[in-house]
Structures are given as C-alpha cells and as structure tokens.
Amino acid sequence: MEDSQSTLRLPPLNALRMFEVAGRRQNIRQAAAELFVTPSAVSRQVRALESWLGVQLFNHNGRSVRLTDAGARYLEAVTKHLAAISEATDDITGRRQREASLRLRSYTLFATSWLVPRLTEFHRAHPWVELELITSSRADDFGHFDVDAEIRPGSGIWTGCRSDLLVSGDVVFVCSADYRDEHGLSEPRDIRKLNPEDLLRSTASPGLWERWLESVGIAGVDVDRGLSFSDSSLTCHAAIAGQGVCLAPRGVVEADLASGRLVAPFPSVAGQGLEFYLVYSPDQLYRRAFHEFREWLVTALK
C-alpha cells in the first residue's frame, strides 16, 4: 500500500507560475503583460494560491502589490525550483542550445548608432547568449520570420506579431559643429545658403527631406543632388565627417549629439518623428535568450 505521506502536495502549477511573475515584477499589470493574460486573471490565480496555502503572499495597496515576508520567502523557493524544472525540461528535450541562441535583424541606423556600442554590456551580463546580429535598411528584408526578432521603424502594428516601442523621437537636422559654424546655420531658412549637394540623403528614407522642408515652410530646394547612401547610418557618418547635413531620429543620435560629433543647429520640427520597435512573435517570450535580451533592451532605453 502506498504511503500517503510520500504523496507530494503541490499547488496548481499555473497559479505558481503567475505568482512567480507577479512577485518578480511587484506589479499585477506588468505580470499580466508578460504572461499575455488579463490583470484580473493574475489576481484570481494569486488569490487561489493564497487560499490553497492558507497564507497571505501579497499586501495590496491600490494597483500596487508588495510581497509579505512569507511571500518573499515563498517566491525565492518557487523561483529556484521552477528554474530547475525548466532546466531539466531543456536537458531532456534538447532545447538548451536553441534557448541560448538569438538571431536578431535590426535597422542599420539603430544597430550602429545605439545597439552595437552597448552590446558589450549585454554580453557581460548574459555571456551564455549566442547573439547573431543582421543589419539592413531595406524594408523588404523585414517581416519574413526567418529571425527571432527584428528592430525596425514603423507604426507598431504588424499582423501576427507583438511589438515594444524602443525609441520615439523627432527627426532632427544635424551636422558637424565645424560645418554649422562655417555656414552660419542657426534657423531652418539658413538651409537656402547651402549647396544642394550638401543635403545628404538615405535611400532607406525616401521623401524625408521633402516632408521636413514642407513642415518648416521652405520650398524650391533641390533635394535630389546631394550624396545618396543606402541607409541613414551612413548619412550620419558623412555628416560627422563634415560632408554636409542630414536628418536623423533624435533617439538614435543622442550619443553623437552628447559627444559633440554632431550638433542640431535648430530645434526639432513638431510632427516630424520616427519610431523604432522590437517586433517578435508572442511565443518568443517563452525563450530564455529572447526574454533576457528584451528585458535588457527595454530597461536600457528607459
């Protein structure tokens, strides 16, 4: 006869999983977003777990939650054992290698101006992640689901995908400080002083100069004579070298502006913006490498 005392008494696994995320996040809404469920579903599962245990795990204060002392101890134990279950599952299914790999395609400007300079920081914190970075500025290179995730400009809405807004900022007119001083640039109408060949263009952003000039009320400027590059990162490098002026999203040239490699001679123009998103299929959130990269990326951009 089976010894009844040897039978494991385990709470519902789904409730444990939701408790772990809510405890780690210290926020019901953020836990719900990570799990792709409603906040009420998380709250119900947490209450069910508390009822099953007969122990209060959270103190509630409006929309925020805080672990009780008992909840904090339980979270530490639950996290450790759920991680062990996940590791054992990866071992027996052979998914460990896949969990460590991450193929990412990024718009070239974002990769060169923001991501690549910070990848050392990510690798130091996550040395086990095997990251393969592919760059492109061609719109038709994106959206083929041949990579784990993409960083791309757009509206934030892609069929069958989820997206996180990474950078949202105005498009700014930039050049080197020497170029600004040499040509006396202090307001948008000063662009009429420039040789049209100094208006650096990116084929990845067609019509950008035309829209910008229209927004500042300047007509009659020939924008088709300047040097043309395959992506905006090259136009920025050309501007840094003093070859002319270009337009770029402020969010991805902040480091160049802060260092003085580029300057913005006049304020941004309202209504001229560009947003970059991390785009991925929902099931990527359950892969360890992507989950860790997404957490690092979103946190670094706050």
Query: What whole-number distance in Å separates Cα of residue 256 and Cα of residue 159?
Result: 34
CATH number at residue 13: 1.10.10.10
Please check whether residues 257 and 292 belong to one and the same domain: yes
Please check whether residues 105 and 45 belong to one and the same domain: no
Please check whether residues 86 and 147 belong to one and the same domain: no
Please check whether residues 30 and 83 belong to one and the same domain: yes
Number of domains in the chain: 2
Residue type present at position 199: L
Please check whether residues 41 and 55 belong to one and the same domain: yes
pTM over 0.75: no
Residue 71 CB coordination number (10 Å):
23
Angle at 109 between CA 245 and CA 104, to 5 degrees: 175
Structural domain for 36, as ranges: 4-93
Above 50 in pLDDT, residue 1? no
Q: What would the pLDDT profile of 170-187 be if each residue is shown by its tens digit? A: 788 999 999 999 999 999
Query: What whole-number distance in Å separates Cα of residue 107 and Cα of residue 139?
Result: 9
Q: What would the pLDDT profile of 17-67 be if each residue is shown by its tens digit? A: 999 988 888 888 888 887 878 889 999 999 999 999 999 999 977 667 899
